Structure 1
């Protein structure tokens, strides 16, 4: 059996998604997510011009060999564009392998390590008072973990907080919007919010918070220490991860668990963080970290060092990626949490899938393969729409991490 076709499909049912569909000579097809938020067309060009021609005629069963061919064979290794393209191929090949074997992908990865995948939702509001009913809404739906983000008095917009009750989608303008940031206001507000949340919801609800790379290590250490009384499950992306010694400094000052990795592309991006036990959760994703094959390598390394998974799962990842993540989540021994932001109805229609949410858990499809597909006719009704992520500036105009 050989690959005879590979199509790159771009669609925007609520937001932009890039999907690779691989077809074999026997008519078996597989899908892989190739979405890179705000840089989607860069991956499209990489796939169409450099990857798809290499796939025609290859044996789809040789997943590992194909992964190595696309990684080592390009010479220019790593990076988000390259690794997202490789991920799309890898995921589609796992989908095909599952269909040929007549098994859901998690069975090919070793079978179940748990009955369901614990997910966390996003509760956000402009004010602390408006936040409480949002958290209660997730609790009522059965969520066992909730990420808490709130507006900061004195700042007109804050990462993670939607406008007027809308779901949060940051890529919302053809050219980047600019926001203003003030670290002092943020560090003052966040501990107050979590004190109120714990007082309202008690000690057992798992709480998370995303800093989104905005602090220095000593600022993050201060925040982590101030949040210790509220027992967060994790503090996410406290600092940019390029300088990984920064996490060592944070570790010296706080016991609040740390999570990082949604922008990581390879095991080398998180090798020191994992092997030195500087983090507690690694948040790399199927689509940005080279597919199921490579993400499994990251999680296997993490398992040896008491680090658990916590994969990114915002709506900038398509249902194809979510389906793939769930199969891996179900199989690995060191699963921690899975982020889950439900897609809008139009996206669910374009990407029909069998995974489902029940009592705080997501369950992957039991159909052979990933259990997800793309309706290409429907996808064509939603053309690409340019959408950029924002940028951040301090109050004096200095460009700052968004």
Structure 2
């Protein structure tokens, strides 16, 4: 069997997605996700100009060799564009291998380590009273874990708070919009939010919060300490991860668990954080970290240091990535949580899939391969629309982490 053809499909059923479809000379096809939010066409061009020409004629069964070829052969290694492109190829090849074997991908990864994948949803609202209603909505839907985000008094907009409660999409304009941030107001407001939520829902519900890289290490340490009475499952992305030593300072001051990694692209981005046990959950994702092959390497390293997975799963991942993530989640021994933001009906129609949500768990299904496809006719009805992620400034106008 040889790779006969590859197509890059860009579609926007509510938001932009980049999909790679690989066809073999025996008629077996596989698909992979290459979406990089706000930079989709950069990855599509990388695939079209540099990756696809190198795939024709290769043996699709040689997944590891192809991964190494695309990574080492590029010379200019790593980075979100390169690793998202490699991820798309990797996912598609695992999809093909599963279809050839007649097995779902998780069986090829060693079989089930659990019966279902625990996921968390996003409860967000401007006020605390409103967010309590949103948390309750997720509890009624069967979720066992909920991320909580509220507006900050005095700020016009706040990360994670949207008009549409289910389908939050921060990429909101062709040219980046600008938001304003004030750390002091945020630090004063947030502990009270979780006091209310924990009081309303008791100790059993897993609660999470995303800081979104906006604090310094000592500010993050202060926030983590102030949240300790409310027993969060994790405090996500408290600081920018380029300064990994900063996490050591956070660790010295708080026992609130820390999760980080959705912007990581390789195992080397999180090696120190894992091996020095500076984090509790690694949030690398299948599409931005080189596909199933490399994501498994990251989680295997993490398992040695009692760090669990907590993969990113927002709507900037297509259902192809969600399916791939679920197969990994089901198989690894050190699974923690999986983020799950539901896609729109239009997106689900473009990407028919077999995974399903039941009682707080996602199940990848038993279809051979990844269990997801792309309806190319439906995809063609939703052309690409330029969308950029916002930028963030302090009250005095200084550019800040978004």
* TM-score, normalization by structure 2: 0.99
1:43/1:198 CA distance change after superposition, 3 Å: same
Q: Distance in 2 between matches of 1:395 and 1:172?
A: 21
- Cα deviation for residue 166 of structure 1 reads 6.4
Q: Distance in 1 between matches of 2:362 and 2:332?
A: 15
- Cα deviation for residue 167 of structure 1 reads 3.1
What CA deviation, in whole Å up to 9, does each residue of 1:34-73 have, x standing for no partner?
Answer: 0000000000110000000000000000000000000001
Q: Distance in 1 between matches of 2:367 and 2:73?
A: 34
Q: Which runs of 4+ in 1 moved over 2 A?
A: 163-167
1:142 alignment counterpart: 142
Query: Does residue 101 of the first structure (1) align with residue 90 of the second (2)?
Result: no
2:118 alignment counterpart: 118
1:203/1:309 CA distance change after superposition, 3 Å: same
2:247 alignment counterpart: 247
1:159 alignment counterpart: 159
Q: Distance in 2 between matches of 1:9 and 1:113?
A: 34
Does structure 1 conserve the Cα–Cα contact (< 8 Å) formed by 2:167 and 2:315? Answer: no
1:84-95 map, 5 Å? 84-95=84-95
1:302 alignment counterpart: 302
- Cα deviation for residue 163 of structure 1 reads 2.2
- What SS is found at the alignment partner of 2:146? strand
* TM-score, normalization by structure 1: 0.99
What CA deviation, in whole Å up to 9, does each residue of 1:79-107 have, x standing for no partner?
Answer: 00000000000000000000000000000
Q: Distance in 1 between matches of 2:314 and 2:376?
A: 23
Q: Distance in 2 between matches of 1:66 and 1:256?
A: 40
RMSD between aligned residues: 0.6
1:52/1:113 CA distance change after superposition, 3 Å: same
- What SS is found at the alignment partner of 2:131? helix
1:39 alignment counterpart: 39
- What SS is found at the alignment partner of 1:302? helix
1:178 alignment counterpart: 178
Does structure 1 conserve the Cα–Cα contact (< 8 Å) formed by 2:104 and 2:368? Answer: yes
Gaps of 5+ in 2: none
2:20 alignment counterpart: 20
- Cα deviation for residue 247 of structure 1 reads 0.2
Does structure 1 conserve the Cα–Cα contact (< 8 Å) formed by 2:117 and 2:329? Answer: yes
Query: Does residue 274 of the first structure (1) align with residue 313 of the second (2)?
Result: no
Q: Distance in 1 between matches of 2:167 and 2:192?
A: 24
1:3-402 map, 5 Å? 3-163=3-163, 165=165, 167-402=167-402
Q: Distance in 2 between matches of 1:21 and 1:365?
A: 21
Q: Distance in 1 between matches of 2:388 and 2:122?
A: 21
Q: Distance in 1 between matches of 2:176 and 2:130?
A: 28
- Cα deviation for residue 168 of structure 1 reads 1.7
- Cα deviation for residue 235 of structure 1 reads 0.1
What CA deviation, in whole Å up to 9, does each residue of 1:310-348 have, x standing for no partner?
Answer: 000000000000000000000000000000000000000
- Cα deviation for residue 165 of structure 1 reads 4.6
What CA deviation, in whole Å up to 9, does each residue of 1:88-144 have, x standing for no partner?
Answer: 000000000000000000000000000000000000000001111100000001100
What CA deviation, in whole Å up to 9, does each residue of 1:146-205 have, x standing for no partner?
Answer: 000000110000000002656321001000000000000000000000000011000110
Q: Distance in 1 between matches of 2:362 and 2:186?
A: 33
Q: Distance in 2 between matches of 1:77 and 1:238?
A: 27
